[in-house]
């Protein structure tokens, strides 16, 4: 399934698909790069799309589609957030919300979510804790990649 089709099949975000990385705020888009930008099939600003539906939830920021074949995409989920050790539990809360949303309200997007490291934390500033810290271990257990100041989207 293509990312755009998965978005259209999801009531909460049906009208929120944007080509390439256009759904991302410019300051956040500048924190990402891709060796082959034509492999980015589209994006959604999930946080903005569902803010009224889930006003008190720990919402995730963005979904990004990556072309695998002509008819099949993979999705990754990107959160731009301060990368302090005291934010780790907040990030875990956000990924729990995202996984629940994918399972209960966005099954088409869940189906195309990348199996390997789909939950990406991009630092909105400097990363202020170590990869060997207890907080980093908590992130890994939750399935969240250790935060990076700049993320290079893998298009394999």
Provide block-wise average pLDDT over 10 residues at a time, the chain (156 residues): 98 97 97 94 98 97 95 96 96 97 98 93 95 95 95 87
Q: Supply the pLDDT for residue 72.
A: 95
Residue 132: the pLDDT is 95
The whole-number pLDDT of residue 117 equals 87
Cα separation, 110 vs 106, in Å, equals 6
pLDDT at position 13, please?
98
Number of domains forming the structure of the chain: 1
Taking the C-alpha atoms of residue 44 and residue 23, their distance in angstroms, rounded to an integer, is: 5
Q: Which segments within 23-72 are labelled E, that is strand? A: 32-34, 40-45, 62-67
pLDDT at 155 (0 to 100): 81
Say what the pLDDT of residue 70 is: 86
| Domain that includes residue 89, residue range | 3-153
63 near 74, Cβ under 8 Å? no
């Amino acid at each position: 399934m293509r990312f755009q089709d998965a978005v259209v099949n999801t009531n909460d975000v049906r009208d929120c698909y944007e080509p390439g990385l256009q759904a991302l705020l410019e300051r956040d888009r500048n924190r990402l790069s891709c060796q082959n930008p034509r492999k980015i099939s589209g994006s959604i600003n999930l946080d903005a799309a569902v803010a009224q539906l889930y006003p008190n939830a720990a919402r995730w920021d963005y979904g990004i589609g990556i072309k695998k074949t002509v008819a099949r995409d993979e999705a990754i989920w990107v959160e731009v957030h301060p990368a302090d050790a005291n934010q780790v539990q907040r990030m875990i809360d956000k990924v729990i919300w995202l996984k629940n949303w994918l399972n209960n309200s966005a099954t088409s997007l869940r189906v195309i979510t990348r199996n390997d490291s789909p939950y990406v934390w991009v630092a909105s500033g400097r990363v202020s804790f170590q990869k060997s810290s207890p907080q980093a271990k908590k992130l890994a257990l939750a399935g969240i990649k250790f935060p990076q100041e700049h993320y290079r989207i893998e298009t394999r």
